[in-house]
């Protein structure tokens, strides 16, 4: 046996079969009360441990005890208490007496244990026969077992784990055999008994334990009725479990849908925000484009104006050049005319001199004409005529010069 883990063992069986005696032998001390009695000795579950705490054993009240009354449900509940003391045991020892005939009660024991602990009980059960004298060989013992079909069938149900003991003078080999089965059935303490429908069993048993009329039925009928009720309760529980699982699945799906809705909603908001942003950028782009077009138009206008201005400037430049040339020309002409005027003036002066001379001539002529006497009147006429011609000539020249150069 591996001693690194605690082994938890529950001893069950019909009253007086030697359960408490077996418990004491396994613990190697007098932990449980055992004696000959017409009444059941053990009336409630009791626990005992080895001094090294490596074995924990629960002794239970015997089934079909005359003092427990006729109510099977109540008896089953009394042994179900063992699970409160010894949670998830590694093994159950189903104690049977080798020296008695197998009564109906003996064979019903397995059924009562099934309605108490569920079918999982048999996966952890070891059948232990008490009152097997040490002198009986293993072969003789096995051959005796084979005589009963019901017994063979029960042993098979318990995985063919069957042991023997003479409690009054326990053989250590037989004790070790039991312990090695405990290790085997629990896979070295790693596998424990568990009935997931323990509550269904308990609820049905509690309900039926209160029913007085249920006691009028015999043990076999009670077991059969309890078995059916527990089966229905388990089916109902399975349906409920399935319903709860489906509900959980639905809730998960709803949660998932809700999360996806949230996600979609967030994405919608995001898309809407992006749409807003795009619209804003479109508006901005449009405004910018319009402004650019406007600026381009203004630039074009400015360019055209500049061209026009340039042309005007060119025209003006050309006009100015022309005017300058004209001025130059005018200056040239004026200078020429001035020269001419000067010439005219000088010629006029000369003319006056000529006129004076001419007037003298005329006066001479007139004097000659008047008989050689120069009359004052003829002289005067001659002088006046010459002066007039000269004056007119000078005046004209002066006038021309004035007009030309002012």
Ligand X SMILES: Nc1nc2c(ncn2[C@@H]2O[C@H](COP(=O)(O)OP(=O)(O)OP(=O)(O)O)[C@@H](O)[C@H]2O)c(=O)[nH]1
Query: Which positions from 18 to 47 touch Mg ion by CB under 5 A, shown as an x/- string?
Result: -xx--------------------xx-----
By the rule CB under 5 A, 195 interacts with Mg ion: no
Three-class SS of 47-89: EEECCCCCEEEEECCCECCHHHCCCHHHHHHHHHCHHHHCCCC
Name the binder of 21 from Mg ion, ligand X, none, CB < 5-8 A by kind: ligand X
Residue with Cβ nearer ligand X (128 or 355): 128
Residue located via tokens 């784990």: 161
Q: In what order do the strands lie in the sheet with 125-130?
A: 46-49, 55-59, 7-13, 91-97, 125-130, 162-164
DSSP label of 122: H
Closer residue to ligand X, CB minimum distance, 62 or 118: 62
Which CB sits closer to ligand X, 20 or 359? 20
- Contact partner, 157, from Mg ion, ligand X, none, Cβ < 5-8 Å per class: none
- If the CB atoms of residues 130 and 186 are measured against ligand X, the closer one turns out to be 130
Q: How far apart are CA 32 and CA 37, in angstroms?
A: 15
The candidate with the shortest Cα–Cα distance to 115, out of 229, 221, 12, is: 229
C-alpha 250/C-alpha 246 separation (Å) is 6
Query: Residue 160 contacts by C-beta under 8 Å, 6 or more apart in sequence?
Result: none
Give the shortest CB-22-to-ligand X separation in angstroms. 7
- How many binding residues for Mg ion (CB under 5 A)? 4
| Closer CB to ligand X, 12 or 397, in the complex | 12
Least CB distance to ligand X at residue 18 (A): 3
Least gap, CB of 128 to ligand X (angstroms): 10
Q: Please report how close the Cβ of residue 96 comes to Mg ion at its closest, in angstroms.
A: 14
User: Shortest gap between Cβ of 222 and ligand X (angstroms)?
Assistant: 19
Binding residues vs ligand X (CB under 6 A): 15-21, 34-36, 40-42, 62, 130-131, 166-168
Query: By the 8 A CB rule, do 10 and 89 touch?
Result: yes
332 token code pair? 């040239």
Q: Which is nearer to ligand X, 21 or 186 (CB)?
A: 21
With respect to ligand X, which residue has the nearer C-beta, 100 or 384?
100
Q: Report in angstroms how near the CB of residue 151 gets to ligand X at its nearest.
A: 17
Among Mg ion, ligand X, none, residue 15 binds (CB under 5-8 Å by kind): ligand X
Terminal-residue alpha carbon distance, the chain: 153
Q: How far is CA 289 from the centre of its chain?
A: 42
Q: What totals of helices (H) and strands (E) does the chain contain, helices first?
A: 11, 6
Q: Min. distance of Cβ 61 from Mg ion in angstroms?
A: 7
Residue 36's binding partner, choosing from ligand X, Mg ion, none, with beta-carbon cut-off 5 to 8 A by kind?
ligand X
The set of residues, in sequence order, having a beta carbon less than 8 Å from that of 106 and lying 6+ positions away, is: 14, 96, 100
Q: Which residues bind Mg ion (CB under 5 A)?
A: 19-20, 41-42
């Amino acid at each position: 046996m591996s001693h690194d883990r605690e082994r938890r063992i529950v001893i069950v069986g019909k009253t007086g079969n030697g359960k408490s005696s077996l418990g004491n032998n396994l613990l190697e001390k007098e932990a449980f009360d055992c004696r000959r009695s017409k009444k059941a000795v053990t009336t409630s579950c009791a626990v005992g441990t080895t001094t090294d705490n490596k074995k924990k054993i629960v002794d239970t009240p015997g089934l079909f005890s005359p003092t427990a009354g006729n109510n099977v449900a109540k008896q089953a509940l009394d042994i179900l208490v063992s699970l409160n003391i010894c949670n998830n045991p590694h093994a159950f020892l189903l104690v049977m007496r080798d020296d008695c005939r197998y009564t109906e009660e003996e064979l019903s024991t397995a059924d009562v244990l099934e309605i108490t602990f569920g079918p999982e009980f048999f996966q952890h059960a070891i059948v232990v026969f008490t009152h097997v004298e040490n002198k009986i060989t293993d072969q003789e013992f096995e051959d005796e077992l084979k005589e009963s079909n019901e017994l063979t069938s029960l042993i098979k149900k318990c995985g063919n784990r069957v042991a023997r003991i003479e409690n009054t003078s326990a053989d250590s080999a037989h004790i070790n055999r039991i312990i090695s089965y405990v290790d085997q059935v629990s896979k070295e303490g790693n596998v424990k008994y568990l009935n997931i429908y323990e509550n269904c069993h308990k609820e049905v048993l509690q309900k039926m334990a209160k029913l007085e009329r249920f006691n009028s039925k015999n043990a076999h009928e009670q077991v059969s009725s309890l078995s059916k009720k527990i089966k229905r309760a388990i089916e109902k529980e399975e349906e409920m479990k399935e319903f709860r699982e489906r509900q959980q699945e639905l809730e998960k799906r709803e949660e998932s849908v809700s999360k996806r809705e949230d996600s979609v909603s967030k994405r919608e908001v995001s898309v809407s925000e992006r749409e807003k942003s795009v619209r804003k950028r479109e508006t901005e782009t449009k405004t910018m484009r319009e402004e650019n077009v406007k600026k381009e138009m203004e630039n074009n206008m400015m360019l055209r104006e500049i061209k026009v201005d340039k042309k005007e400037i060119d025209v003006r430049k050309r006009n100015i050049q022309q005017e300058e040339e004209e001025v130059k020309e005018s200056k040239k002409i004026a200078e020429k005319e001035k020269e001419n005027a000067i010439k005219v003036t000088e010629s006029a002066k000369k003319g006056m001199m000529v006129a004076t001379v001419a007037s003298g001539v005329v006066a001479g002529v007139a004097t000659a004409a008047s008989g050689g006497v120069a009359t004052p009147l003829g002289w005067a006429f001659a002088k006046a005529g010459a002066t007039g011609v000269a004056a007119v000539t000078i005046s004209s020249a002066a006038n021309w010069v004035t007009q030309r150069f002012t």
